[in-house]
């Protein structure tokens, strides 16, 4: 079996991730921050360890501004719904996932103004187009770091500097890049970094978060849920300080134990080494696909300009059929369709048909890429 659906979730996980989750369940098990006994404190240490690991990876100055949650969608909702008010203007790109687009479209109905900057058919965004879109009331620029459809990297550092110079906040959706591409909150001028734990951070599903930079006034960040935090129990109002302000309810500690182990694995292996491995495989995949008659490859077609996610189509075969046959006949797992990103598919010209998407990860090998290319070659030949 060949797993090429790492853009949806990474699999397998590195050694230590499952063990950390099992250790919590078997040896700790208590509720962090809800008591002062040793098991509750140990559970708190596990959660805090996840904050520290994430802060180290992204060069975030304060681990207490790492708000942990279920996934990147929750983190994006918190940043968008928590900070934007009627009358605010927001700039985003035409390559966004629905995790950004749907909250923004809903907020648009509530009175925020939205500008969607058009990207090229390869998924490239020109920083000058972001600059042109800014208005006097622009509160935020929101971009994904890399497309979940074609992997194309967006120029976040340039966009971040433009937003900062204009006095706007910069929110980055790092779902497709965190852990597999260097990200530095300070160098990249990121004010709000939304991440998921279960992709290139190699943690389990049910883990993710939002890192709130120091340009964001925590008291202006409205939580999307309120409730018990284990702190300020005498108050019936939500705490004003982070992370408690935005972390009500018992957290998913087993997942956060796994997240910490996954991020520690990334830090030990090194983001640069992971990136180099994925670039090598991605280039091999792109070049191989381009040599197959009847195959159209979307995106940059240059591994240096994208993440390890490659979208393509086979002439004469619908993506859904290709996905089924890759699974049934070749035991290759991939994702087909619109990938929850209709705007991106409109941009690259594949809406509503969609594409076949291969998402590579740190554990894929050149032999697996060759086997996948052989399978696509056979399907393309048959379809012609």
Partner 1 sequence: MSTHYTVLLVQSTNHALRCENILHKAGIACKLIPVPRYLSSDCGVCVCIATQDKRATLAALEAARLAPEAVCDL
Q: Which is nearer to partner 1, 30 or 118 (CB)?
A: 30
Q: Which is nearer to partner 1, 62 or 158 (CB)?
A: 62
Helix (H/G/I), strand (E/B), else coil: 319: helix
Q: Which is nearer to partner 1, 243 or 254 (CB)?
A: 243
DSSP 246: G
Q: Which is nearer to partner 1, 45 or 166 (CB)?
A: 45
Q: Which is nearer to partner 1, 26 or 233 (CB)?
A: 233
DSSP 292: S
Select from 33, 160, 179, 223 the one that contacts partner 1 (CB under 8 A).
33
Candidate segments 185-193, 241-249, 253-261, 310-318, binder of partner 1 by CB under 8 A: 241-249
Q: Going residue by residue from 161 to 200, which x/- string records binding to partner 1, judged by CB under 8 A?
A: ----------------------------------------
Contact 117, 155 (CB under 8 A): no
Select from 128, 232, 273, 291 the one that contacts partner 1 (CB under 8 A).
232
Note whether 223 binds partner 1 by CB under 8 A. no
Q: Which is nearer to partner 1, 36 or 86 (CB)?
A: 36
Q: Which is nearer to partner 1, 11 or 241 (CB)?
A: 241
Q: Going residue by residue from 37 to 76, which x/- string records binding to partner 1, judged by CB under 8 A?
A: x---x--xx-xx--xx---------xxx------------
Q: Concatenate the DSSP letters of all residues of 2-25 into one string.
A: EE-BTTT---SPPTTHHHHHHHII
Give, in order, the Cα–Cα distances in Å from 144 to each of 7, 38, 72, 94, 344: 14, 41, 11, 10, 11
Contact 315, 294 (CB under 8 A): yes
359 closest CA partner among 378, 330, 334, 380: 334
Note whether 241 binds partner 1 by CB under 8 A. yes
169 closest CA partner among 223, 211, 203, 204: 211
Q: Which is nearer to partner 1, 203 or 239 (CB)?
A: 239
Distance of closest approach, residue 344 Cβ to partner 1, in angstroms:
37
Contact 184, 58 (CB under 8 A): yes
Distance of closest approach, residue 47 Cβ to partner 1, in angstroms:
8
Distance of closest approach, residue 36 Cβ to partner 1, in angstroms:
3
Distance of closest approach, residue 64 Cβ to partner 1, in angstroms:
6
Give, in order, the Cα–Cα distances in Å from 272 to each of 48, 144, 158, 187, 333: 26, 20, 21, 16, 26
- Could you tell me the strand order of the sheet in which 89-93 lies? 66-69, 208-212, 192-196, 169-173, 138-144, 89-93, 113-117
220 closest CA partner among 119, 81, 43, 375: 81
**How many residues make contact with partner 1 (CB under 8 A)?**
26
Note whether 325 binds partner 1 by CB under 8 A. no
Q: Which is nearer to partner 1, 3 or 48 (CB)?
A: 48
Contact 233, 210 (CB under 8 A): no
Select from 151, 243, 354, 361 the one that contacts partner 1 (CB under 8 A).
243
Contact 17, 255 (CB under 8 A): no
Distance of closest approach, residue 256 Cβ to partner 1, in angstroms:
13
Note whether 252 binds partner 1 by CB under 8 A. no
269 closest CA partner among 195, 197, 363, 334: 363
How far is the C-alpha of 136 from the C-alpha of 89, rounded, in Å? 8
Note whether 11 binds partner 1 by CB under 8 A. no
Note whether 32 binds partner 1 by CB under 8 A. yes
Note whether 238 binds partner 1 by CB under 8 A. no
332 closest CA partner among 364, 354, 296: 364
State the residues that interact with partner 1 by CB under 8 A: 32-37, 41, 44-45, 47-48, 51-52, 62-64, 229-234, 239, 241, 243-244
């Amino acid at each position: 079996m060949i797993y090429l659906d790492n853009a949806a979730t990474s699999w397998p996980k590195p050694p230590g991730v499952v063990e950390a989750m099992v250790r919590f369940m078997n040896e700790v098990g208590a509720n962090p921050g809800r008591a002062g006994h040793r098991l509750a404190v140990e559970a708190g240490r596990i959660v805090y360890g996840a904050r520290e690991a994430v802060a180290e990876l992204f060069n975030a100055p304060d681990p207490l501004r790492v708000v942990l949650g279920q996934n990147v969608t929750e983190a994006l909702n918190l940043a968008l719904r928590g900070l934007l008010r009627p009358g605010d203007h927001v700039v985003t790109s035409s390559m966004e996932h629905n995790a950004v687009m749907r909250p923004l479209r809903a907020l648009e109905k509530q009175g925020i103004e939205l500008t969607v900057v058009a990207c090229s058919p390869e998924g490239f965004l020109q920083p000058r187009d972001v600059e042109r879109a800014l208005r006097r009331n622009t509160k935020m620029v929101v971009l994904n770091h890399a497309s979940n459809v074609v992997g194309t990297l967006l120029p976040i550092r340039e966009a971040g500097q433009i937003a900062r110079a204009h006095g706007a906040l910069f929110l980055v959706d790092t779902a497709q890049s965190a852990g597999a591409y260097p990200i530095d909150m300070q160098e990249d001028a990121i004010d709000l970094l939304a991440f998921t734990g279960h992709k290139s951070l190699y943690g389990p599903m049910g883990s993710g978060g939002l890192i709130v930079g120091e340009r964001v006034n925590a008291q202006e960040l409205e939580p999307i849920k309120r409730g018990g935090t284990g702190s300020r129990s005498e108050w019936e109002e939500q705490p004003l300080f982070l992370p408690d302000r935005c972390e009500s309810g018992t957290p998913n500690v087993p997942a956060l134990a796994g997240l910490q182990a996954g991020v520690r694995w990334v830090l030990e292996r090194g983001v640069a080494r992971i990136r180099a491995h994925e670039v090598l495989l991605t280039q091999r995949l792109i070049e191989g696909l381009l040599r197959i008659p009847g195959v159209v490859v979307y995106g940059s077609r240059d591994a240096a300009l994208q993440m390890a996610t490659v979208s393509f189509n086979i002439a004469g075969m619908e993506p859904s059929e290709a996905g089924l046959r890759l699974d049934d006949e070749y035991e290759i797992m991939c994702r087909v369709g619109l990938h929850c990103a209709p705007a991106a598919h409109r941009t690259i010209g594949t809406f509503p048909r969609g594409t076949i998407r291969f998402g590579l990860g740190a554990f894929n090998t050149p032999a697996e890429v060759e086997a996948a290319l052989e399978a696509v070659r056979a399907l393309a030949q048959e379809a012609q």
